[in-house]
Structure 1
Amino acid sequence: MLEQLRGVARDLIAARSALRSVMPAEFVNNPPIDLLYALFAADDQAMMVPPLITATGVSGPVARRWLDVLVDRDLVMERDGRVTLTEAGFVMAAEACQAIIESRTGAAGATLN
């Protein structure tokens, strides 16, 4: 099940990257979600800061501000340039990916039809 959830996170990262190629960045970027999904999809739910920032598609200072917010909200922890999901961050990302799976299958309820 975890691999399926991580696959959803990777798909969402790829979709946002594809959107950036055809839409203005400000229409697409959502740094805190991108940071959480990138960490969730990463081995051991951890990444070094530079590649994690690159995964967001935003500038370093913007990503840095959002990392600080995620640390303050106890969703990630940072030590020696390595960012790791906390248990709360892991649960949030997993639940978000599960909600997306359910939205695709209709398991969660009504659709927008």
Structure 2
Amino acid sequence: MSALAKPNYSEVYEDALANFNEVEDFMGELAEMLTHLADALTTNPDQINLSKDAAPNLKVLSVTDHDWPSFARLRTLHAEWRAARDTLLSVWHLLGETERETASPLPPFGAQNLTNPVV
């Protein structure tokens, strides 16, 4: 590539979006596991086995210490999500209007209206 050639920001954006989605999907899986445990503890605590010698079984979900997120892991994952989001937004702002029209849309980032992302 010559020094004057414009980088392909569309590819960079799509890669950043894929990375963001991967981190967000993993966060969603952890959130689902935590929600499942909270629901089980609230609705029927007898259905769960959290004894030291047994692999904890939350009805249909088996959880091991390896699966269970520590607070430090949650903090790291949250930082990874923020970094991935910031990278994604930075690259989005490098895209031209035509590139934005053909690129995959930005995720909503917690927007109430999913058609209008919080940017």
Q: TM-score, normalised by structure 1?
A: 0.32
More helix by share: 1
The higher-RCO structure (CA 8 Å, 6+ apart) is: 2
Q: TM-score, normalised by structure 2?
A: 0.30
More strand by share: 1
